[in-house]
Structure 1
Amino acid sequence: MSTWHTLVEAPALAARLGAPSLVVFDCRHDLAKPGYGRDAFASGRIPYARFLHLDDDLSGPKTGRNGRHPLPSAEDFVALMRSHGVSETTQVVAYDDAGGMYAARLWWMLRWVGHDAVAVLDGGFAAWRDAALPISTDAPLNLPHGTLSLRPGVASVSADDVLANLASAAFQVVDARAPDRFRGENETLDPVGGHIPGAINRFFRDNLAPDGRFKTPAQLAEEWRSRLGDRPVAQLVCQCGSGVTACHNLLALEVAGLSGARLYPGSWSEWCADPTRPVAQGD
């Protein structure tokens, strides 16, 4: 049975539903309406899917200085995955209804704890619905407790690493936010507008075709290479507002066959919480 590592199409997922080695997570969310995801899940979801909330399940405690969606401890996240039946041999699939912007967070987090049998449903819930596949309101099945273990996974960087990089230029920061927010305009989520000095902008939605699915690997590779020039992918650090949509850029890079970039999980919301850290504005 094939293993999915980046994206999966709705018919392929449908064909494997109910398999004991598959766990599907509904990651729908709305930053402006925190209750939206649970309501959407209750009104209809992919059969057998289990719900994860961005704030409650895919984030850790906030201190006021560590960003809007700080990572939980790796140990706590592994325990959460075990409680949902995830083991080393489990294929995980995540979906949302926002082009993968929330599902990619779970995709990255599982790879962060060393589990790479994880993929995002390309096109999300809309693709599932458009394919006339079944939608359920049944309660999720009780699954045996999983045995997922914490193993070395993909790397991340800290705010201190990013601060030191202002002088060393050892890596290139890529900001996934919309261009206006990158420039410091129309900032509604964080108290300070602007971006990390030296960062370049790649809006995460530019990874998607008009139908809401990811562009082809060839197109993504061409666009990213055009944006990055000769910089090796291993020297990229992706960030956004709070470490969520940056994961979408990391997923797009993997789809394009460009592996090795890292995440700055705290992202802009952590960076701007310390007034001593420099801020750039404009392009």
Structure 2
Amino acid sequence: MPQPFTQLVSVAELASLATPAWRIFDCRFNLADLTAGRQAYAQGHLPGAFFLDLEDDLSGPRSGLNGRHPLPDPQLLADKLGSVGVAPGTQVVAYDDAGGMFAARLWWLLRWLGHDRVAVLNGGIQAWAAAGHPLVTEQPDARATTFVARRQKGMRVDADFVLSHLHSAEMQLIDARAPDRFRGENETLDPVGGHIPGAINRFFRDNLDASGAFKPPAQLQEEFGALINGGDAHRVVLSCGSGVTACHNLLAMEVAGLSGARLYAGSWSEWCADPSRPVATGA
């Protein structure tokens, strides 16, 4: 029996080791077209894959003050996972077509709910297809079970924590957005451009190689180690626009062996909703 996959799984491993007991989730999504993920899933997905929608399944209701993709209600997500057969020992694999941009959100959420047997398909659906494996249109069947959410403490921080640690050596904030948005330029998703004071920028796509797969662990360790000056990963807080691509940086740090970083789930879209919070621009 193979060891559980808790970070990345390759196409070859998935193709040769997956059993009907595994659960595969298609997490494709497009911020500019909210129906694109479901449409792509209907047109062809990995055999046995279920679909999870970023907004409907992997996020909660928006209040206007809690960001564009608030964390989902843990029990609602647990019920959804249980309804498609995710049990305590189930190996889960998440994939998308964006280098893990959305799949990493499910990876983090499952770990937050106490389920470590979850991995992202390295290279996504493109790598699967490029290796000659089939896509199907059939909807899979699954026997429902009970998924018990056991929320893990210490995996996330809130806006108050970030505000109170802006100038503290106990927090190193890393922002996963594209460099221009980090600088406050070309902002199209949020009403205010800029970043949280003291943050440094690590564009999540810099975690990937030219093929769209994650860089080797040693390279990621070197790059993130340089960002945090060889410091303690436990003081690192990851943010982005709405708590999605920050999970990609979290996954990359885990792949690099730098465990313990935390997620600011509300991220920039929550931060800038309160005009009393400070804003920085530029590099």
Kindly indicate whether residue 214 of structure 2 is the aligned counterpart of residue 214 of structure 1.
yes
Q: C-alpha offsets along residues 155-175 of structure 1, whole Å, 9 cap, x if unaligned?
A: 100011111112434211100
Instruction: Provide the rounded CA distance (Å) in 2 between the counterparts of 1:78 and 1:265.
Output: 18
Q: Is the 8 A contact 1:10 1:128 kept in 2?
A: yes
Match of 2:76 in 1: 76
Quote the offset at 1:75 in angstroms.
1.8
In the TM superposition, 1:74-153 aligns within 5 A as 74-141=74-141, 143-153=142-152
Match of 1:256 in 2: 256
> How many pairs are equivalent?
281
Match of 1:223 in 2: 223
Residue 281 of structure 2 aligns with an amino acid whose one-letter code is Q
Q: C-alpha offsets along residues 9-44 of structure 1, whole Å, 9 cap, x if unaligned?
A: 112111234422x00000001000000000000000
Match of 1:281 in 2: 281
Q: Is the 8 A contact 2:233 2:260 kept in 1?
A: yes
Quote the offset at 1:112 in angstroms.
0.4
Match of 1:57 in 2: 57
Residue 131 of structure 1 aligns with an amino acid whose one-letter code is A
TM-score in terms of structure 1 length: 0.97
Q: C-alpha offsets along residues 84-136 of structure 1, whole Å, 9 cap, x if unaligned?
A: 21110100000000000000000000000100000000000000000000111
Q: Is the 8 A contact 1:17 1:48 kept in 2?
A: no
Residue 144 of structure 1 aligns with an amino acid whose one-letter code is R
Q: C-alpha offsets along residues 137-172 of structure 1, whole Å, 9 cap, x if unaligned?
A: 11211x122222122426100011111112434211
Residue 134 of structure 1 aligns with an amino acid whose one-letter code is P
Instruction: Provide the rounded CA distance (Å) in 2 between the counterparts of 1:110 and 1:81.
Output: 10
Q: Is the 8 A contact 1:18 1:48 kept in 2?
A: no
Instruction: Provide the rounded CA distance (Å) in 2 between the counterparts of 1:34 and 1:137.
Output: 20
RMSD: 1.0
Quote the offset at 1:247 in angstroms.
0.2
Match of 1:175 in 2: 175
Match of 1:270 in 2: 270
Match of 1:29 in 2: 29
User: Which residues of structure 1 form unaligned runs of 5+?
Assistant: none
Residue 144 of structure 2 aligns with an amino acid whose one-letter code is H
Kindly indicate whether residue 15 of structure 2 is the aligned counterpart of residue 10 of structure 1.
no
Secondary structure of 2:157's counterpart equals coil
Instruction: Provide the rounded CA distance (Å) in 1 between the counterparts of 2:202 and 2:171.
Output: 16
User: Which residues of structure 2 form unaligned runs of 5+?
Assistant: none
Instruction: Provide the rounded CA distance (Å) in 2 between the counterparts of 1:146 and 1:169.
Output: 45
Q: Is the 8 A contact 1:24 1:92 kept in 2?
A: yes
Q: Is the 8 A contact 1:17 1:47 kept in 2?
A: no
Instruction: Provide the rounded CA distance (Å) in 2 between the counterparts of 1:195 and 1:3.
Output: 37
Q: Is the 8 A contact 2:221 2:256 kept in 1?
A: yes
Instruction: Provide the rounded CA distance (Å) in 2 between the counterparts of 1:227 and 1:169.
Output: 14
Identify if the C-alpha distance between structure 1 residues 152 and 35 changes in structure 2 by more than 3 Å, giving closer, same or farther.
closer
Secondary structure of 2:23's counterpart equals strand
Secondary structure of 1:174's counterpart equals strand
Instruction: Provide the rounded CA distance (Å) in 2 between the counterparts of 1:148 and 1:88.
Output: 7
Instruction: Provide the rounded CA distance (Å) in 1 between the counterparts of 2:249 and 2:264.
Output: 12
Secondary structure of 2:140's counterpart equals coil
Secondary structure of 2:238's counterpart equals strand
Residue 35 of structure 1 aligns with an amino acid whose one-letter code is T
Q: Is the 8 A contact 2:83 2:146 kept in 1?
A: no
Question: 4+ runs of 1 displaced by more than 3 Å?
Answer: none
| Aligned-residue identity in percent | 60
Q: Is the 8 A contact 1:234 1:260 kept in 2?
A: yes
Q: Is the 8 A contact 2:67 2:266 kept in 1?
A: yes
Residue 62 of structure 1 aligns with an amino acid whose one-letter code is R
Instruction: Provide the rounded CA distance (Å) in 2 between the counterparts of 1:166 and 1:125.
Output: 39
Secondary structure of 1:166's counterpart equals coil
Residue 175 of structure 1 aligns with an amino acid whose one-letter code is D
